[in-house]
């Protein structure tokens, strides 16, 4: 393997610099978690060329348009976090040998800001997103951020571009914090420099069909994650490996893939969402079940919100445990499944109408097909929206800007 000294001599036209010596991984992660990103050092540069906003919000789609400004902050092992900056939205300038391009040292988050019925703008559980960003960064030996300081910077960015937050239920401003390894070296190792930046994007429905029940292909041909891997890390590599399987499923008329794992075909996630099943289990107990956080499952913020609300309402058993596709197939065929739905920041709640498994079509009840608005997912979806859009006032999960 090429060592770091040799790699430093082949840096594709990048400015040479003296490399800091490699340290043990545990020591690196510990020191990086103590690095300081400080809001009181924030520098703001206002754009002089504001963009035209999308007038017809129904054409927004997801992640196609971006606001006028972005947050940007650099880190180095020698100096820690530099002063964070809010700048006009612009391209990044990176060396082609930057580690992010070669070894996938990158993580990101997905969160949203909402324009409430009172005109106030709110975030939703941002502390959970920042905690997960730090967890992902630590897994990749990237630096952590101070959660409170970063959220202050984030609020300033969103406040600055709050006119971009669209009005109306189902519309929001998607917030994409991203951290990348920027050290210009081809040797495989811990990066001694990184960049954190945040983009803002006004969005509508995540799925092209809007907020409609989805069709899933349950197929064990591809595996999303495995024990000891990075299934619980919000890193680009996790998503890149799913694109071809999802494209194949979509070409067959499905919306997403239901990811299975192991010889028993354990049910894990659906597309980019966590999955919930509301059923009567084999023991005759009414239950809301989702896969456990065993290292293969992403700890979704919406997932935790669903669990928190279900436990608070105490209507039925709520469990995080392993269950299999054959178990789910039997329950659907026996009429024991009340509903199945996915949860995630992008789509919030996505009901499942059909699963195809081993060539068998399994129809799943939905509020739409049953003409019944009392489904648990409806209550969850409405309650989350009430919090996000301010119909439930001053909720601790929805801090105002």
pLDDT in tens, 312-323: 999 999 999 999
Share the mean pLDDT of the chain.
90
- pTM flag (> 0.85): yes
Dist. CA 401–CA 114, nearest whole Å: 10
In the chain, pLDDT over 90 holds for what percent of residues? 84
Please give the domain boundaries of the chain with CATH numbers for all domains.
4-203 (3.30.470.10), 214-388 (3.20.10.10)
pLDDT tens figures, 211-240? 679 999 999 999 999 999 999 999 999 999
**Is the pLDDT score of 189 beyond 50?**
yes
pLDDT tens figures, 361-380? 999 999 777 777 779 999 99
**Is the pLDDT score of 158 beyond 70?**
yes
- In this predicted structure, what is the pLDDT of residue 211? 61
pLDDT tens figures, 11-46? 333 443 333 333 334 334 444 444 699 999 999 999
Residues in a beta bridge with 88: 69
Cβ count within 10 A of residue 193: 21
**Is the pLDDT score of 155 beyond 80?**
yes
- In this predicted structure, what is the pLDDT of residue 207? 57
Cβ count within 10 A of residue 91: 5
Q: What b/e readout covers 214-248, taking b as 16+ CB neighbours within 10 angstroms?
A: bbbbbbeeebbbeeeebbbbbbebbeeebeebbee
- What average pLDDT score do residues 267-273 get? 94
**Is the pLDDT score of 6 beyond 50?**
no
3-state secondary structure of 337: strand
- In this predicted structure, what is the pLDDT of residue 133? 98
């Amino acid at each position: 393997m090429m060592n770091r000294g040799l790699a430093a001599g082949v840096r594709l036209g990048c400015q040479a610099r003296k490399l800091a010596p490699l340290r043990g991984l545990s020591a690196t992660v510990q020191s990086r978690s103590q690095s300081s990103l400080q809001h009181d050092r924030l520098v703001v540069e206002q754009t002089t060329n504001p963009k035209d906003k999308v007038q017809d919000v129904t054409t927004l789609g997801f992640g196609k348009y971006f606001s006028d400004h972005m947050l940007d902050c650099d880190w180095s092992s020698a100096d820690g976090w530099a002063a964070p900056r809010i700048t006009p939205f612009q391209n990044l300038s990176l060396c082609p040998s930057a580690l992010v391009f070669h070894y996938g040292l990158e993580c990101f988050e997905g969160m949203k800001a909402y324009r409430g019925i009172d005109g106030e703008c709110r975030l939703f559980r941002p502390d959970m997103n920042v905690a997960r960003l730090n967890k992902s960064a630590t897994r990749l030996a990237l630096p952590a951020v101070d959660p409170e300081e970063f959220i202050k910077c984030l609020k300033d960015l969103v406040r600055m571009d709050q006119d971009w937050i669209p009005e109306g239920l189902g519309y929001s401003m998607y917030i994409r914090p991203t951290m990348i390894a920027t050290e210009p070296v081809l040797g495989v190792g811990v990066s001694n420099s990184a960049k954190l930046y945040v983009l803002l994007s006004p969005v509508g429905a995540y799925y092209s069909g809007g907020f409609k029940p989805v069709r899933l292909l349950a197929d064990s041909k591809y595996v999303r994650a495995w024990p000891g891997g990075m299934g619980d890390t919000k890193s680009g590599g996790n998503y890149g490996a799913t694109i071809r399987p999802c494209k194949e499923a979509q070409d067959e008329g499905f919306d997403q893939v239901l990811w299975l794992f192991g010889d028993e075909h354990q049910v894990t996630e659906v597309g980019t969402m966590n999955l919930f099943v509301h059923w009567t289990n084999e023991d005759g107990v009414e239950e809301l079940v989702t896969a456990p956080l065993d290292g293969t499952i992403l700890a979704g913020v919406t997932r935790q919100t669903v669990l928190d609300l279900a436990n608070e309402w105490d209507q039925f058993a709520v469990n995080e445990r392993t269950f299999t596709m054959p178990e789910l197939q039997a329950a659907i065929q026996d009429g024991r499944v009340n509903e199945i739905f996915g949860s995630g920041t992008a789509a919030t709640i996505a009901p499942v109408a059909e699963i195809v498994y081993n060539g068998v079509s399994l129809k799943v009840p939905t509020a739409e097909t049953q003409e019944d608005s009392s489904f648990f997912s409806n209550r969850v979806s409405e309650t989350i929206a009430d919090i996000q859009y301010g119909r439930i006032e001053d909720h601790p999960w929805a801090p105002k800007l």
